[in-house]
Amino acid sequence: MKYYTNSGFLFSSKLRSSICLLSVFALGLSLFGQRYPLSENLWSSPEFKDRVMGSYGVHTQLEPKLAEEESELFRTLSVILDTDLEQGAQMLQQNITPESSAALDFTLGTIRIQQNDPAKAIESYKAAIKKFPNFMRAYKNLGLAYIQNENLEEAATMLVKGLELGGGDGLSYGLLGYAYLNMDMISSALNAYNLAIALSPKETDWKLGKIRCLVDLENYDEAAGLIAELISDNPQNYELYMHQANIALARERPLEAMTNLEIVRRMNKGTADSLFLLADIYANKGMYALAISAYDDAMSLSGKKDDFAKTRRAMQAFIEFQAFEEAKQLSELVTRRIGSVLEKEQRLELLNLNAELELSLNNSEAAATTLEKIIEEDPMNGRALILLARHAWQKKDYEEADFLYERAENIEEVKAQALLQHGQMKVEQRDYAAAANLIRESLDLNYSPQVADYLRDVEEASRMVF
């Protein structure tokens, strides 16, 4: 299961919510396929430049030698590369021949990495290796170029070859860990990250990679300790608090996650996803005013029609827990923030929720007016039919309620619910035999132990009547 997303979140499948508000799965599933990125800081760090970007020339006896004229070329090249990489690349290309030193191809490949052209870098490093098969740094840099080109399997192969030739350094092990992690080789990635951290203990990327491995392996306590250490060293890094929030969720500690997400929010670094998650946690804990504020912030960042699914679930829960005023506020907020981008089906669903809210507030006539508008626009809107049938039932207009329930029973997605409610109405009318038939049919479609117990009571009542 992939955890890595553009928003920085790694969601745990262990999280559960009593009222199904937390949007862990809704937020995460569409993003699981994304590879987690190496930070921009890594590519510009001094160690990276020292070990890769500045690695021009010949360094060991195990690397290719330069002819006298090539040595002179490098002396000129070293001056040019400080100011004009492309001029240096052109100079190298003019001097590279099948007989020239592999060091020239290697240096050209390194320039192409700096120019963010991994495809050309790969060509140059391959040419260097063809001329000098044991060229350690060429294998290592070729691995880096493959990572930039998102070819992780080839990257891992080249990095391992470089390590076998004696190139054991933090960067190589870290990049190998990165490749293994995104190839789902989690234990191998963890081993590589451990070696990378031992050789480069200040590199945050390798520690974050290790944390992701630990989470995948469900070693949440060690992951929590490591992320706390990173936060202690860099308390202004908002991404670390996001990671800590995810680990808290994996450990089933939503209040800790809430604290971290609120810190990120107050740093003005919250994403739409993190704010929706924060809002869901607030809602799940009955902190409705705080939830509405977070939903507002989330939709102000996003403003997409997809936001409706997240807020709809919350509004439904507010109604179920009789937080009617908050449900109304959330409905008005949805209308203001994303009402103009909602599709027809979403708009009708919002109207359904508003009608359900009005019924809960005993504003039955207002609810009926809204429901009739929905059915006029969408005659097969099963939820509206059921709500309108319930309204007729409350008015003791059993004939109208029968008619509406029977219409709803012909709509597959609400059939079980319509049959059950219709049966409950028949119980009120003391028509136990008809009620039992309706409830039994509902139970066949959607089994529930509570409904099964209810059916036995109705059947018993039916026998007593006769």
Q: Mention the CATH class of domain 46-202.
A: mainly alpha
**Among 126, 203, 137, residue whose Cα is nearest residue 166:** 137
Q: Is the pLDDT of residue 415 over 90?
A: yes
Can you give the pLDDT at residue 61?
Answer: 55
Taking a C-beta distance cutoff of 8 angstroms, is the pair 242, 9 a contact? yes
* Least-confidence region, from 124-128, 311-315, 358-362: 358-362
Mean pLDDT, to the nearest integer, of 38-49? Answer: 50
Say if residues 436 and 427 touch (Cβ distance below 8 Å): no
pLDDT of residue 124: 95
> Residue 2 burial (CB < 10 Å; 0-12/13-18/19+)?
middle
Q: How far apart are CA 103 and CA 227, in angstroms?
A: 41
Residue 199, pLDDT above cutoff 50: yes
More confident residue, 377 or 269: 269
Q: Which single residue is written with the structure tokens 């099948």? A: 98
CA angle 297, 298, 303 (to 5 degrees): 110
Question: pLDDT digit string (tens) for 344-395?
Answer: 889 998 988 988 888 888 888 888 888 888 898 888 989 889 989 998 998 8
Q: What confidence category does residue 457 fall into, taking pLDDT thresholds of 50, 70 and 90?
A: very high
Mean pLDDT for 182-200 is: 96
Residue 313: CB atoms within 10 Å: 18
Structural domain spans, the chain: 46-202
**Per-residue confidence band for 3, with pLDDT thresholds at 50, 70 and 90:** very low
> Contact, 167 vs 160, CB < 8 A?
no
Q: Specify the amino acid at residue 45.
A: S
- Mean pLDDT in residue range 419-424: 96
Q: What is the pLDDT of residue 81?
A: 83
pLDDT bracket for residue 38 (50, 70, 90): low
Say if residue 343's pLDDT is above 50: yes
pLDDT digits (tens, 9 = 90+) for 201-241: 989 999 999 999 999 999 999 999 999 999 999 999 999 99
% of residues, the chain, pLDDT over 90: 67
Q: What are 237-268's pLDDT values in tens digits?
A: 999 999 999 999 989 999 999 999 999 999 99
- Which of 15-24, 178-187, 352-361 has the largest mean confidence? 178-187
Averaged pLDDT, 146-153:
94
Burial 384-422 (b: 16+ CB within 10 A, else e): bbbbbbbbbbeeeeeeebbebbebbbebeebbbbbbbbb
Q: What pLDDT, on a 0 to 100 scale, did the predictor assign at position 220?
A: 94
Q: Which percentage of the chain shows pLDDT scores above 70? A: 86
What's the pTM value of the predicted model, to 2 decimals?
Answer: 0.67
Specify whether the CB–CB gap between 109 and 145 falls below 8 A.
yes
Q: HEC states along the chain?
A: CCCCCCCCCCCCCCCCCCCCCCCHHHHHHHHCCCCCCCCHHHHHCHHHHHHHHCCCCCCCCCCCCCCHHHHHHHHHHHHHCCCCHHHHHHHHHHHCCCCCCHHHHHHHHHHHHHCCCHHHHHHHHHHHHHHCCCCHHHHHHHHHHHHHCCCHHHHHHHHHHHHHCCCCCHHHHHHHHHHHHHCCCHHHHHHHHHHHHHHCCCCHHHHHHHHHHHHHCCCHHHHHHHHHHHHHHCCCCHHHHHHHHHHHHHCCCHHHHHHHHHHHHHCCCCCHHHHHHHHHHHHHCCCHHHHHHHHHHHHHHHCCCCHHHHHHHHHHHHHHCCCHHHHHHHHHHHHHHHHHHCCHHHHHHHHHHHHHHHHHCCCHHHHHHHHHHHHHHCCCCHHHHHHHHHHHHHCCCHHHHHHHHHHHCCCHHHHHHHHHHHHHHHHHCCCHHHHHHHHHHHHHHCCCHHHHHHHHHHHHHHHHHC
Q: What is the mean pLDDT of the chain?
A: 85
Angstrom distance (rounded) from CA 116 to CA 10: 28
Provide the residue count of the chain: 466
pLDDT tens digit string along 76-113? 888 888 888 899 899 999 999 999 999 999 999 999 99
Q: Is the dihedral of CA 278, 279, 281, 285 positive or negative?
A: positive
